[in-house]
Structure 1
């Protein structure tokens, strides 16, 4: 065995011999390691953003953790009961409770609060307060901490406690929000007389009107009635309504609540701090919440707040909704990850193959002179590790710098796997190729290659896996165990197709070579013969990479197209047209509004509609029916343009006192096709249904009956304006509408469409899908280039020999271009066919709804987000592969033509 110090000169010498190859290999490893490290970090980053937004966007009423304990027992002295609800005692429990929150739960001190509240609202006896149905309003009293830091005093002052408050105190100070004061006609100095106390009502003197600084945050919204009064209904039939409102007392006034029948209770509200949570914290978060609600965490909380304390929160429902959306998106995104990983592996293997082919003679000579496989493999490993390991480390570092707030282990594993594969590729290929010393290079072309039994078994195993994954995906979708195999279905289908095409590839070349040989020119015959005699690895690996990348690109493009279609459809169903302008109280539109809107840049068509509700009798029941009065010509054109139930304008009209109508399927089923009388606000109208449409622009969802507005008696006039156009100037449109009236709402289809892609989960997954498809296409094209570069010396030598025999430069370029064309055409055609078949096979099992539409938006698209084959996603990558193959071949012919034939022809060269 050679001395250890002799390894360094070998590595240094080999790297100096081919510096360009070493640098190119290092760049390939760097990019691949970066992608392998950044992908899991990017996924975790958008999942983390999605979790934080889900918590921040949910109502504080559902996310706050509320620890409650009943009032001190009556068996205790009144002084002890009063001391137990004073701020000092409550603050001590709050500090202990915050420290007992399990990881990763953390409370936000700025929005957390504690105090004493009446669990049952108290009836107000003041006759001056508003009573909608004759019922007095009811008030919830809260002696809550931290009012000074969460409100601005608009009038008066904050409530205080002058003398110590006891259980027998019947006059306290309170404050209300400006909205409560406005709704219940309260002002500074007002007094509320509240029933529910045995020895006389409790009087609350209003000392201040407050303006919440952050009304949507937990301090004010965990108890919404404290911020905004609301109408509550009784259980009677019909229901009667009364006002529910909240009054903020001074924290020291809590003992006064103990003497009444309002069921006072102590509470501590911990607002969760979502800023420090990550996607990896979800399992621990769910377990921690469950422990606090009914587990060891609750036992510890009771040790601080009392043996009967209870903790309640809706945080687990918010996290469960987020988890369901994430779990539905992850398998779809995994398809892109599997695709790019498969192509990247092929490219790394091909790079090792190119290096092994370039040094085949050198390694054969070393084996012939007694070199051991272990020694040769060790030297090659050291040689590849020198550029690969630093490049992989640099890719990992770059990924960490690009995406922060993610766990390091997945990125380290990804970059480490790339480094291991890059380092082991060349030694393994060399060891396999030179396991036995040989005197000459054996033929390894497609025409003479005979797949062995091991390859057949491997291909059949892959076929079984592909069939199983497709069947599982079609049967149960992307949910449940084994989703990794299901997500790999498109890649497995592409791999199986590539192996099948490689086996069939020589047949058409042989069939075409015979007729081409009888032609006058030699270029066609030579190109086909050369394509058929190319090394099997040169054809197999690039074809494998191209088909996998094209299948992934086709599937990814189809996913993105399905998502875009679903969002477009959902946005259209929200507005009914490109623009929807309506009055807030269904009153007629201002005069001149239609003309003002029509003059806005980009508006092509404007139509006004009015909706009134008629009473129609069908099946012995009287039902309310929305009747839409329209102008037939303009509205029919809008319906056809938007694709929402288009019809001919002649279907709306009047014949013999009967109005022709277009109805929704439900209305048509009830009324039938015979003339039917309905009762409108302006009188009785007879209608006849002439056409049935599932939806219409004025009423995109629900029942409707379209009639000509001119045939309605005493029609109230249009209340909705629908406009269509491209490139609408939203600012000018809103300016025109605001100039016509102040009670008009404007909804733009483009804005609705943009709002559907704001969720971090959907946007992040879609962004990763786009970049994964682009990276996969880049790797596939690189595989094609590597395949051509591997046989470049042989083709250059052949071209030199043919030039000595009289082959012109133009014919040489044609020869190399036509030689590369069969493989490119096979990959392009096969990729399009396999991509189309893959989308068709997997479409029934792919759920794109959660990827397309945010779960919390409440927006839906009819039929869901369907996966369909996208023509551009099939054709563009395939055309790019063909063009690149031709361009590389022509460039190689041009470069070879610049050099003299003697450069390529050397004695003893068998190429």
Structure 2
């Protein structure tokens, strides 16, 4: 072997071993656990913002889709130009509009709709046409170039040709022709103000491929005849429909409709909308409606009177308000998870630093500088944390795709930085020279936290939630966390006292296990100064945020049910068709349906004439059984009254009546005349005042409630009810099936044909369960609920991890104690009891304290919470404390943590004791 080889080996022998590689090989399990912790926390930090973004986008798009294609379209229209409009000019204008609008927004794949229409339908004087009452039917005319792609001709031919003085060739929907009694070859005559009647000849019949297709939105009555009502009183029904004309008749639409217009509807794709760009999208839409873009489009199409309208700007404004209203409530859960994650990082760093305290002090004693030691620790962390963080961030981006990445990336970077710096910062504190007056600094810090908590809660209660349009309210999000932090600091002070009292009580009982465990818990055995606050804080944050969120969701559920009951008039309601009644077979069978608690049938009419003394022309009258109706009003919470007020009407005496407050003042105590259902006139007298009726939740007219028995004796017609209400858990499908089986279809209107009979409305069935489900179908609410559940699960898991880290931190000292006690005769079961007596008090105290803090947070912050965006309907602002949802969350988390403590004690306790007995006590 050469001299050079010997020299190389000597140099390698003298060269120090690589620090990072050596340390990582020395403790591979700790490295893997640290990487797993960093991976999990970074994954949460990156995933939560992306989940929020996805939920906001899906809620916005569903909200716009539910509004319908008419509300999510740009509708351009211009007055018809006599002699200038043609199919080619309409197509050219459409191409111009598509190019301009399509460059700014994504158009819906369903495609645009364009054409021309007569603005006013004409009444038809043909005597053979159907008239439900005395009003003749009406016909409107449309020219739709693309209609052939959406209908098929079933008889005759498409309209074409025609002379200037002859009938206008039109095609009608086959369903409309059957309803009206028209056929191919019929000449429909419309009187004209100039004396010469206008005529339209039916040359073809068509049938729409899908009448519910978006194409037909806003095209009134082109696929069937519609039953309409006149505006005069009493209202009369009549049929109205529309027909299609050929390209040669575009110029004649002006004669038929007095006025005509060309129109272009451009539907925008809701899937192209993003929640984070609502403000910019709304401003751009406004430019197309009334701004510079609208003027440019009018010039580009050559139609100076072009007008563009859309409901989208208002829809986007409401969507933005909904998003901002829900933002504080959806952010409380993730904020709690972030707080617990920070605690876990601190605990993990403290555990690692304490485990390596001897090594770090030895390096310092051998001349290592603090900066050098901390740099090496930072290098260890970089090798462990950075790959795990990068993998977690990539996984979050892959699993939760969304176009926005800034918030997720910032969250991942912040968490990665905290994971990197936690151990070096803890080591720096450990290597620092001890300072005096630590208790004074702790007191000052605790007072600062208390002052910040009081200020935050006071400010939220004073000003309420941030006004709409200002986004996330940081105070409403931070206040529950500050309350949990204050509670943790307070419990850290009180827990030794409380557990000490229990220890003294246990000391007076036989057996030393309970006393010893509680005494060690009171002293905080195995913990460094100040560290008992961290596991307490983790548990309190988890319980407080979970309890606050559970209270919000519970209040949302109850508010939905309350709103649904008010809208339905109970838990179930059935209304007979117009001028119809409900048979006795139905009311008797419905009262026996499973889940029905109370049921009542009543008669009601909204158009009852009042005497002149009432000061009102018309009133809503309700005739019902007093007892059943009073129970219904009590359950719904509207129109409560004492049923005794409507009892005791003697024969020949005026019928007692409950009236609304305005009528009570006008009528006074004197009897007043009433006429119901065309019967004879009778007298009624005011017996009390009610604030409304479940039968008419949105009624604005005066109200009169009469007892069924005395009223039916005077007017027998009111004994046949036209409405039925019930309370209880009534199944929607079962009730609808019963209505189909027992309530006969409505009688056909005079002169109506079979298609017309099918078009008449049948009984209306409503249930509060179905309406509550409809309120809760909003993706915005689903997203908030899912995010809350995920946040509770994440916070609970991290809180359990914090407790287990605390147990691991105290494990060596506890194992040494148990080893000594084992030599003194301690049995294994007693060792397990000792561990539980030492560790469970903190868990139970934290669960109880978190429950109280959650209730306090709801009581203090509840008045500032508005649940309208989560309920799906307008509800009064405010949130009331509810013990059950908070108790459920607290007990669930306490059980989870207790099970974890028990498992840790059972699995690791015996092994640690055996190790100590074999190796001896070197402490």
Task: Using structure 1 for the length normalisation, give the TM-score.
Answer: 0.85
What is the aligned partner in structure 1 of residue 273 from structure 2?
277
**Per the alignment, do residues 820 and 211 of structure 1 end up closer, same or farther by CA in structure 2, a change over 3 Å counting?**
same
CA distance in 2, matches of 1:638, 1:123: 46
CA distance in 1, matches of 2:604, 2:255: 55
CA distance in 1, matches of 2:777, 2:809: 46
Residue 908 of structure 1: CA displacement? Answer: 7.9
Query: Is 1:773 the counterpart of 2:792 in the alignment?
Result: yes
What is the aligned partner in structure 2 of residue 189 from structure 1?
185
What is the aligned partner in structure 2 of residue 471 from structure 1?
459
Residue 554 of structure 1: CA displacement? Answer: 1.5
1:25-54 Cα offsets, whole Å, 9 max, x none, are 333333333332332222222322222223
What is the aligned partner in structure 2 of residue 38 from structure 1?
47
- Aligned residue pairs: how many? 878
Alignment of 1:298-697 (within 5 A): 298-306=294-302, 308=304, 309-435=306-432, 450-453=438-441, 456-457=444-445, 460=448, 463-464=451-452, 467-468=455-456, 470-480=458-468, 481=470, 483-508=473-498, 522-523=512-513, 524=515, 527-533=518-524, 534-598=527-591, 600-603=593-596, 605-612=598-605, 615=609, 617=611, 620-622=614-616, 624-632=618-626, 652-657=646-651, 658=653, 663=658, 666=661, 669-670=664-665, 674=669, 676-681=671-676, 682-685=679-682, 694=691
Alignment of 1:63-462 (within 5 A): 63-72=72-81, 81-82=83-84, 85-101=85-101, 104-108=104-108, 110-119=110-119, 139-161=139-161, 171-178=167-174, 180-182=176-178, 184-192=180-188, 203-224=199-220, 226=222, 245-257=241-253, 262-306=258-302, 308=304, 309-435=306-432, 450-453=438-441, 456-457=444-445, 460=448
What is the aligned partner in structure 1 of residue 710 from structure 2?
711
CA distance in 1, matches of 2:685, 2:331: 54
Is the CA contact 1:218–1:271 (under 8 Å) kept in the aligned structure 2?
A: no
Residue 558 of structure 1: CA displacement? Answer: 1.0
Is the CA contact 1:173–1:205 (under 8 Å) kept in the aligned structure 2?
A: yes
Residue 347 of structure 1: CA displacement? Answer: 1.7
CA distance in 2, matches of 1:249, 1:257: 9
What is the aligned partner in structure 2 of residue 896 from structure 1?
909
Q: Which moved more, 1:280-289 or 1:316-325?
A: 280-289
SS of the residue corresponding to residue 362 of structure 1 reads helix
CA distance in 1, matches of 2:811, 2:579: 75
CA distance in 2, matches of 1:662, 1:236: 30
SS of the residue corresponding to residue 201 of structure 2 reads strand
**Per the alignment, do residues 133 and 116 of structure 1 end up closer, same or farther by CA in structure 2, a change over 3 Å counting?**
same
5+ residue gaps, structure 1: 75-80, 437-441, 855-859
What is the aligned partner in structure 2 of residue 736 from structure 1?
738
Is the CA contact 2:64–2:72 (under 8 Å) kept in the aligned structure 1?
A: yes
**Per the alignment, do residues 187 and 31 of structure 1 end up closer, same or farther by CA in structure 2, a change over 3 Å counting?**
farther
**Per the alignment, do residues 748 and 704 of structure 1 end up closer, same or farther by CA in structure 2, a change over 3 Å counting?**
same
What is the aligned partner in structure 1 of residue 59 from structure 2?
50
Is the CA contact 2:804–2:904 (under 8 Å) kept in the aligned structure 1?
A: no
What is the aligned partner in structure 1 of residue 71 from structure 2?
62
5+ residue gaps, structure 2: 1-10, 746-762
CA distance in 2, matches of 1:660, 1:428: 85
**Per the alignment, do residues 219 and 318 of structure 1 end up closer, same or farther by CA in structure 2, a change over 3 Å counting?**
same
Q: Which moved more, 1:124-133 or 1:757-766?
A: 124-133
**Per the alignment, do residues 590 and 832 of structure 1 end up closer, same or farther by CA in structure 2, a change over 3 Å counting?**
same
Residue 757 of structure 1: CA displacement? Answer: 0.7
**Per the alignment, do residues 566 and 641 of structure 1 end up closer, same or farther by CA in structure 2, a change over 3 Å counting?**
closer
Residue 893 of structure 1: CA displacement? Answer: 4.4
Residue 274 of structure 1: CA displacement? Answer: 2.0
CA distance in 1, matches of 2:634, 2:233: 46
CA distance in 1, matches of 2:447, 2:350: 21
SS of the residue corresponding to residue 269 of structure 1 reads strand
What CA RMSD, in Å, does the superposition of the two structures yield over aligned residues? 4.1
CA distance in 1, matches of 2:345, 2:124: 79
Residue 851 of structure 1: CA displacement? Answer: 0.9
Is the CA contact 2:614–2:663 (under 8 Å) kept in the aligned structure 1?
A: no
CA distance in 2, matches of 1:267, 1:94: 9
Query: Is 1:831 the counterpart of 2:850 in the alignment?
Result: yes
Is the CA contact 1:197–1:261 (under 8 Å) kept in the aligned structure 2?
A: no
Task: Using structure 2 for the length normalisation, give the TM-score.
Answer: 0.84
Residue 322 of structure 1: CA displacement? Answer: 1.8
CA distance in 2, matches of 1:725, 1:620: 37
Q: Which moved more, 1:180-189 or 1:326-335?
A: 180-189
**Per the alignment, do residues 181 and 298 of structure 1 end up closer, same or farther by CA in structure 2, a change over 3 Å counting?**
same
CA distance in 1, matches of 2:673, 2:683: 6
Residue 540 of structure 1: CA displacement? Answer: 0.9
CA distance in 1, matches of 2:643, 2:621: 17
Residue 567 of structure 1: CA displacement? Answer: 1.0
CA distance in 2, matches of 1:733, 1:259: 51
SS of the residue corresponding to residue 65 of structure 1 reads strand
Residue 577 of structure 1: CA displacement? Answer: 3.6
Is the CA contact 1:652–1:662 (under 8 Å) kept in the aligned structure 2?
A: yes
**Per the alignment, do residues 244 and 305 of structure 1 end up closer, same or farther by CA in structure 2, a change over 3 Å counting?**
farther
CA distance in 2, matches of 1:237, 1:569: 35
**Per the alignment, do residues 240 and 901 of structure 1 end up closer, same or farther by CA in structure 2, a change over 3 Å counting?**
closer
Residue 409 of structure 1: CA displacement? Answer: 3.0
Residue 846 of structure 1: CA displacement? Answer: 0.5
Is the CA contact 2:655–2:710 (under 8 Å) kept in the aligned structure 1?
A: no
Alignment of 1:732-771 (within 5 A): 732-743=734-745, 744-771=763-790
Residue 149 of structure 1: CA displacement? Answer: 1.0
SS of the residue corresponding to residue 736 of structure 2 reads helix
Residue 315 of structure 1: CA displacement? Answer: 1.6
**Per the alignment, do residues 495 and 210 of structure 1 end up closer, same or farther by CA in structure 2, a change over 3 Å counting?**
farther
1:758-801 Cα offsets, whole Å, 9 max, x none, are 11112222222232223223322322222222212222222223
Is the CA contact 2:604–2:722 (under 8 Å) kept in the aligned structure 1?
A: yes
CA distance in 2, matches of 1:235, 1:907: 99
1:710-748 Cα offsets, whole Å, 9 max, x none, are 22223322223334454x555444333322124343323
**Per the alignment, do residues 537 and 248 of structure 1 end up closer, same or farther by CA in structure 2, a change over 3 Å counting?**
farther
Residue 314 of structure 1: CA displacement? Answer: 1.9
